[in-house]
Chain A
Amino acid sequence: MPARPLVLRHLGGVLFGCFCLLTPHANAQEGPEKQKRPDAFRQLEELLPTPSATRTASGAPGHAYWQQKVDYTIQVELEEEHRQITGLEQIRYHNHSPDSLRYLWVQLDNNRMRPSSIGNRIAGAPDLSSGMSFKSLHRRLIRDSFDGGLHIGWVRHQGQELHTVVNDTMMRVDLPRPLPPGGQFEFEIQWSFQVNDSSQVGARTGAEFFPEDGNWIFEMAHWYPRLAVYDDVNGWQNKVFLGSGEFALEFGDFDVQITVPADHVVAATGVLQNPEEVLTKVQRNRLAKAMELGQDGPTMIITLEEAKANEASPADGVKTWHFQAQHVRDFAWASSRKFLWDCWGIFSGDPQTGEGHKVAAMSFWPKEAEPMWSKFSTHAVVHTLQVYSRYTFEFPYPTAISVNGPVGGMEYPMICFNGPRPEPDGTYSERTKYALIGVIIHEVGHNFFPMIVNSDERQWTWMDEGLNTFVQHLAEVEWDEHYKGWWGEPSQITSYMLSEEQVPIMTNSESLLSFGNNAYGKPMTALNILRETIMGRDLFDFAFAEYARRWKFKHPQPADFFRTMEDASAVDLDWFWRGWFYTTDHVDFELAQVDWYQLSTLDPDYENNILRERRDAQLESLQHERNTPLPKRVDAYPELKDFYDTYDPLTTTSQQQKEYLKLLESLDDWQREQLEAPWQFYILTINNLGGLVMPVLIDLEYEDGSHEMRRIPAEIWRKNSEQVKTLVLTERPVRKIRIDPRQETADCDISNNNWPPDIKPPTRFELFQQKKNAKTNPMQEANSQS
């Protein structure tokens, strides 16, 4: 049987929206027409570093992967009255690299608090347009005069002074002879510094004074000289600390002895080695009970009454707290006589096999943080460990601690500092409550990114903040109903993505504009879209956990993340990384045209009837209507009439009828059935006005009001990233078509997404005004009805 083309009945095309169809975007350049169109699906090889034996093309560490190891033995003493720290550290540097090293770089990040630091000198101007108070002038002057830098007493190797050079927050230690691959080098540093009063100089470390009782809380971070990272990507990561880019550090083992006033309580990274010397028998018994598995909440180790008594009468003398920590990239601690303390022992591991270990989840806080902290803090710590472990790996450390003090929110291995507190009368707003829970989840969550999956924070803020904020969101939605919709809705990021002053996510930490949106909001939204809309939860969750597992206790780079997510899912995401991480394009699809067709039955009677109906349904033109009653010459002289006066071109001729019957005979059963099938063909023309390619999500609303969702992968744009046409074939007529009706893709302008177009939806302002103009609120309305 000869192939016969089917005939389609065109029911009309609907064109609307912007007629200057294509808006040029960032990639469009001057030049010959044929070079203009950017390829959104071009693979990323030219942007990513070449795979190597250290980092493979799959995104995993290669067979030759190496990283340095640095072990520290530190004795440090806190002198409270003058807020003075003096320390002595012994560093064992293990050179696992294939290179000989002639010098080592040591970070002195506290030097950021020297008046002459680069970070201080390049700070932007304050806003003086509304004046300046004496208080802020005072603070400003203190910031310009306070020297919080690390004062190096000496740097020695086997008793011999080593030559050093300090460049702002970086110190080069010249080695007596090159350190060969596989070699070890031990040296000692003696140092001291004054702790910043956080009411005057804010930082990620500091001391807070409580005038009512005359006591301090110390939260100590970057308090000792720390080795910079030497790796296969940067060589030395020795960019000076300007104040935004956080830290890049090597893993190692710590043995730290902290000497503080005798009545202080110390919380620190690692496990306390000498509880007999620093804790009372009662405290030790309580701790033992708290660590028995199966407790249904935290146990108080130091109660409110005990903390009040402790802070009221300072004791004489000092005590030394001894901690050890393995496989950590840093060490932080907090000390005060004001602390309350609770602990909840939980199991981290496989409950089926019993393989795993105990974790002490603990919190330390002053009475000023009650009653919020005893209610929420340790619960939030445990919740974080449980949820994050599900999405990454079992929490490997023995402790996880949340401390309240001067620092608003900052993370270190096993310990973090969180600021929110209730009002002085103990009440707190709902907002403070969720701020506290949110910040604890966030900071404890940083144990996973970047404390264990140890990305380079100085270079890439998004790798720890973006990933962590994303998992934070997953943990928050499992806390309570309130968290629904707080973060990660693609619609929340659209205004930022439209803005002109943007830099790509792949920008160095110190150069980021709009830090919060760029390093937290946009990457976390991107991951959320990957999970919900592009990959689906199963594929995404496996790949994300695989990245965490591969790079646990290692130093991943952006390419390792990008490659692993593809490697573990078989989803080509180069277009997504390119658009979302390397450009500032946004998403804006426009449903520019819909053409609607049906199959012709080929039955001339039937088809002519339809055409006649359509013809008759058309409104008569005004002119025609007015001319109709006019007397006609052919009526006055009927002899003028002929064949054409009664001829209707829509009347089926017998010839047409014969041909139709002949045709039917030539068709088989299936083909004959198709002629009567109710197929509806809609050709959608979609313009990409924003530049980012994304899946095309099509919602069909049928005439009976039911909906159907058709999801077309982003690859539909592979041959033309500016305009695509797609066929939607249905069995029933559709009365409305919407692109991305649930706002999954961060489409920045949804007013051009519908067919037929909507009446403009009310703005936020108009909604508010309507609400305001309504005389009653919903409660009053409900009351008046009852």
Chain B
Amino acid sequence: MKHALLLLFVLPLLGWHHLLTTIAEVSFNADSGYLEVALHCTPRDLEATLSKDLKRLIRLDQEKNLDPLLEDYCNRHFQLLDAEGKQVPLLWVGKEIELRDAWLYFQLDVDGKWQDKTLYNDVLANLHHKYMNTVRLQLGNHKPRSLSFDAKHPQRALSPDLSGQNPSFSRQFSAILGE
């Protein structure tokens, strides 16, 4: 157990093991009015970021009640914000965890309107400052586009017309000493 812990905290500094990349496919479902999200990462990255986040060793294949942990994690690190900066509700759908791939599925209740929303995405940010998340958008009849999220740009507007602009609000940060 101890070695695993040691290993866990060493690895994020190395190049090979951690891909430090997630890809989310986001599409708009006109019938439900929701954005539907399939978020991909490597199981290894997911384990490491959850463990650091929750300050205990998480094993995806051993954790009894994994879904609520994942839902909570997505709720805090994949936030869709409306024009006032208020977080849009996230509805958890499920997960698929395979050998090389972990997929997390959830909906974002935008009530039929995605155009004025801003996405805050810092999944994996606690592993290494060089993380990079990609979000592939398939919104209505627009051509598919990808947005990139990294330490410098954790927040971006969904609408192509707004993507160059800085959002007028920023997310609250709080530094708490835990444990």
Question: Which A residues have a C-beta under 8 Å from some C-beta of B?
Answer: 18, 23, 123-137, 139, 198-199, 202-204, 206, 208-212, 244, 368, 406-410, 419, 421, 423-424, 429-431, 434-435, 439, 442-443, 465, 482, 486, 495-496, 498-502, 513-517, 689, 748-749, 763-766, 768-769, 772
Q: Are A763 and B6 in contact (CB under 8 A)?
A: no
Taken together as a complex, chains A and B put the C-alpha atoms of A203 and B4 apart, in Å, by 17
The answer, among A434, A517, A769, for a CB contact under 8 Å with B132, is A517
Q: Are A125 and B14 in contact (CB under 8 A)?
A: no
Question: Which B residues have a C-beta under 8 Å from some C-beta of A?
Answer: 1-4, 6-7, 9-21, 23, 25, 27, 36-38, 43-44, 52-53, 55, 61, 76, 93-94, 96, 99-100, 103, 105, 122, 125-126, 129-130, 132, 134, 136, 138, 143-148, 150-151, 153, 163, 171, 173-179
Q: Are B21 and A517 in contact (CB under 8 A)?
A: yes
Q: Are A198 and B10 in contact (CB under 8 A)?
A: yes
Residues of A contacting B13 in the complex (Cβ-Cβ under 8 angstroms): 202-203
Q: Are B178 and A431 in contact (CB under 8 A)?
A: no
Q: Are A421 and B7 in contact (CB under 8 A)?
A: yes
Taken together as a complex, chains A and B put the C-alpha atoms of A440 and B44 apart, in Å, by 17
Q: A129-B122, A210-B3, A515-B20 are in contact. Are A18 and B99 (CB under 8 A)?
A: no
Q: How far is the CB of B34 from chain A (nearest CB, A)?
A: 10
Q: Are A202 and B3 in contact (CB under 8 A)?
A: no
Q: Are A498 and B145 in contact (CB under 8 A)?
A: yes
Q: Are B177 and A499 in contact (CB under 8 A)?
A: no
Nearest opposing residue in chain A for B149, CB measure: A501
Nearest opposing residue in chain A for B144, CB measure: A749
Taken together as a complex, chains A and B put the C-alpha atoms of A704 and B175 apart, in Å, by 67
Q: A134-B177, A768-B94 are in contact. Are A495 and B6 (CB under 8 A)?
A: no
The answer, among B1, B6, B43, B105, for a CB contact under 8 Å with A431, is B43
The answer, among A410, A496, A498, A765, for a CB contact under 8 Å with B27, is A765
Q: Are B9 and A199 in contact (CB under 8 A)?
A: yes
Q: Please list 28 pairs of residues, one from A and one from B, whose beta carbons are closer than 8 Å in the complex, sorted by A's number.
A: A126-B126, A128-B174, A129-B122, A129-B174, A131-B174, A131-B177, A132-B178, A134-B177, A135-B55, A407-B14, A408-B11, A408-B16, A409-B17, A424-B1, A424-B3, A424-B4, A430-B99, A431-B44, A499-B146, A501-B153, A513-B148, A515-B20, A516-B15, A517-B21, A517-B132, A764-B38, A765-B93, A772-B93
Q: Are A124 and B129 in contact (CB under 8 A)?
A: yes
Taken together as a complex, chains A and B put the C-alpha atoms of A130 and B178 apart, in Å, by 9
Q: A134-B177, A408-B10, A764-B25 are in contact. Are A500 and B99 (CB under 8 A)?
A: no
Taken together as a complex, chains A and B put the C-alpha atoms of A136 and B179 apart, in Å, by 10
The answer, among A18, A23, A514, A766, for a CB contact under 8 Å with B21, is A514
Residues of A contacting B176 in the complex (Cβ-Cβ under 8 angstroms): 131-132
Taken together as a complex, chains A and B put the C-alpha atoms of A210 and B4 apart, in Å, by 11
Q: How far is the CB of B77 from chain A (nearest CB, A)?
A: 8
Nearest opposing residue in chain A for B76, CB measure: A130
Residues of B contacting A204 in the complex (Cβ-Cβ under 8 angstroms): 14
Q: Are B55 and A689 in contact (CB under 8 A)?
A: no
Q: Are B21 and A516 in contact (CB under 8 A)?
A: yes
Taken together as a complex, chains A and B put the C-alpha atoms of A761 and B130 apart, in Å, by 34
Q: Are B37 and A765 in contact (CB under 8 A)?
A: yes
Nearest opposing residue in chain A for B54, CB measure: A130
Residues of A contacting B150 in the complex (Cβ-Cβ under 8 angstroms): 501, 513-514
Residues of A contacting B105 in the complex (Cβ-Cβ under 8 angstroms): 765, 768-769
